[in-house]
Amino acid sequence: MPMSDAVLDALLLQSGYNAALVAVGAALLGIAAGSGGTFLFLRKRALVSDAVAHATLPGVGIAFIVMVALGGDGRNLLGLLLGSAVSAGIGLLVVEWIARRTRLAEDAAIGAVLSVFFGLGIVLLTVIQTMSRGKQAGLESFLLGSTAGMLFQDAVVIAAGGALSVLAVFLLRRPMTLVAFDAEFAAASGTDVRRIDLAMMGLVMAVTVIGLKLVGLILIVALLIIPPVTARFWTDRTADVIWIAGLVGGVSGYLGAALSASAPKLPTGPIIVLVCFALFVLSLLFAPNRGLLAALFRHRRFQHRVHRRQGLLALAHGEPILDPLTLTVLRRDGLIRADRVATRKGEAQAAKTLRDEKRWEIAREIHQSDAISGRYDGLTSIEAVLTRDEIADIDRRIGPPVPAAP
């Protein structure tokens, strides 16, 4: 089957029940990760998710060893996720205890927990490789994520966990938004900030644990951080950031899982993260308010207005215009001819610009207020600041308009 057909089948959920469930589960996980990660992003605690993710690895190893010791095969996904949840919870509590009970900052606590837990997990995986059942356990897939060999019930667990995480985000969005945006105001309003912080961490832990098989503990952090950063390019409203981040995460999970299903040799986690990063780059470039291209256009418009004003003032005073860019702007706007002589439109605009300068001087003398003078940048139209009556009174003080110098 051609690659394009395989990708299309995966996108249309025609690649089998397992692949369809994985794609749906990845989408739900992405929604929960993107929207849930927004609260950490706004709370400026994004690195906590890194500590939680790395703290899951010892739990995976211990859960495998315990299940084998009890007579199981050790690869039951639900058991492995339960073990990773316990380990992540312990890591989270250790970070909080160090930050609250010692003089160490939270970032130092995160660094300590991250490195120690991850090191312990690597040691346990090495020990598991020496076991008779450990060589084929496939636990390395929890590092980078993989759907190869995933059973139907595993896909169901991931899809159900993703759906519950999305539900938790929906139910807790208001108090978590309040705490993330202004913790002091939330505390003054009677909100238990510590409990809400723990709920945020619990949500991140749930997303991390559920995403271990799909994205892997190393890359799940990207799915928690990149979507809210991407969403921030599109809006200034907190509520909108949450749901746009969920949309970015959901699309990334769905597309990444579909692409991975169409090319089974590629790991799922990196594909999902690369899709998420591609959406970030597109937002960085093309977002209408904060994108680079929008900023470039705004700068060009501002530059155009500055050179236009300077050129018109030069025409009004009869001064030569030497700046090539100013000449280009004036010619493009039809204010001067090729021989640098002002057109009728240019003469009228030059006279208006010079008169507005005089109006601003009188306005500042009359009002003597920073609220008025502070709004003058030489580019703002006087009609946007003063009323018609005020302008008429100023014009009576100035006298009739004086034509621009030839």
Q: How confident is the model at residue 385, as a pLDDT?
A: 74
Q: Which of 62-66, 185-189, 380-384 has the lowest mean pLDDT?
A: 380-384
Sorted by sequence, the CB contacts under 8 Å of residue 159 that are 6+ apart come out as: 21, 24, 25, 28
Q: How confident is the model at residue 51, as a pLDDT?
A: 81
136: pLDDT strictly greater than 80: no
342: pLDDT strictly greater than 70: yes
Q: How confident is the model at residue 149, as a pLDDT?
A: 59
Q: How confident is the model at residue 135, as a pLDDT?
A: 55
Q: Indicate the helix (H) or strand (E) that contains 330.
A: helix 324-332
Beta strands in 44-110 (DSSP E): none
346: pLDDT strictly greater than 70: yes
Q: How confident is the model at residue 256, as a pLDDT?
A: 86
d(CA 163, CA 104): 37
Q: What is the token pair recorded at 187?
A: 């505390």
392: pLDDT strictly greater than 70: yes
Give the mean model confidence (pLDDT) for residues 376-393.
Answer: 75
Closest CA to 203 of 228, 166, 239: 166
d(CA 71, CA 398): 98
Which one has a higher pLDDT value, 395 or 6? 395
* Domain ranges across the chain: 3-286, 293-398
Q: How confident is the model at residue 375, as a pLDDT?
A: 61
Q: How confident is the model at residue 283, as a pLDDT?
A: 94
- Average pLDDT of the chain, as a whole number: 81
Q: How confident is the model at residue 17, as a pLDDT?
A: 61
Q: How confident is the model at residue 188, as a pLDDT?
A: 85
284: pLDDT strictly greater than 80: yes
Which one has a higher pLDDT value, 261 or 125? 125
134: pLDDT strictly greater than 80: no
DSSP track, 10-26: HHTT-S-HHHHHHHHHH
Give the mean model confidence (pLDDT) for residues 47-58.
Answer: 83
Sorting pLDDT into bands at 50, 70 and 90, what band is 319?
A: confident
Give the mean model confidence (pLDDT) for residues 393-404.
Answer: 72
Sorting pLDDT into bands at 50, 70 and 90, what band is 374?
A: low
401: pLDDT strictly greater than 80: no
Which one has a higher pLDDT value, 155 or 281? 281
Q: How confident is the model at residue 16, as a pLDDT?
A: 66
Superfamily classification of domain 3-286: ABC transporter involved in vitamin B12 uptake, BtuC (1.10.3470.10)
Q: Residue 111 corresponds to which amino acid?
A: G
Interval 163-218: pLDDT, tens: 888 888 888 888 888 888 778 888 888 888 888 888 888 888 888 888 877 787 77
Q: How confident is the model at residue 226, as a pLDDT?
A: 93
Give the mean model confidence (pLDDT) for residues 293-310.
Answer: 90
384: pLDDT strictly greater than 80: no
d(CA 373, CA 380): 11
Q: Please name the residue ranges forming H helices in 102-216.
A: 106-129, 141-144, 152-181, 183-188, 193-210
Query: In this structure, are residues 243 and 166 in contact, taking their beta carbons and an 8 Å threshold?
Result: no
Q: Which of 19-33, 72-86, 96-110, 143-157 has the lowest mean pLDDT?
A: 143-157
Q: Which of 18-27, 63-72, 299-308 has the lowest mean pLDDT?
A: 18-27
Q: How confident is the model at residue 132, as a pLDDT?
A: 65
Return the residue matching tokens 């580019």.
379
Closest CA to 244 of 225, 258, 231, 262: 231
Give the mean model confidence (pLDDT) for residues 275-302.
Answer: 92
d(CA 232, CA 187): 26
Q: How confident is the model at residue 23, as a pLDDT?
A: 81
d(CA 350, CA 47): 56
Give the mean model confidence (pLDDT) for residues 286-302.
Answer: 90
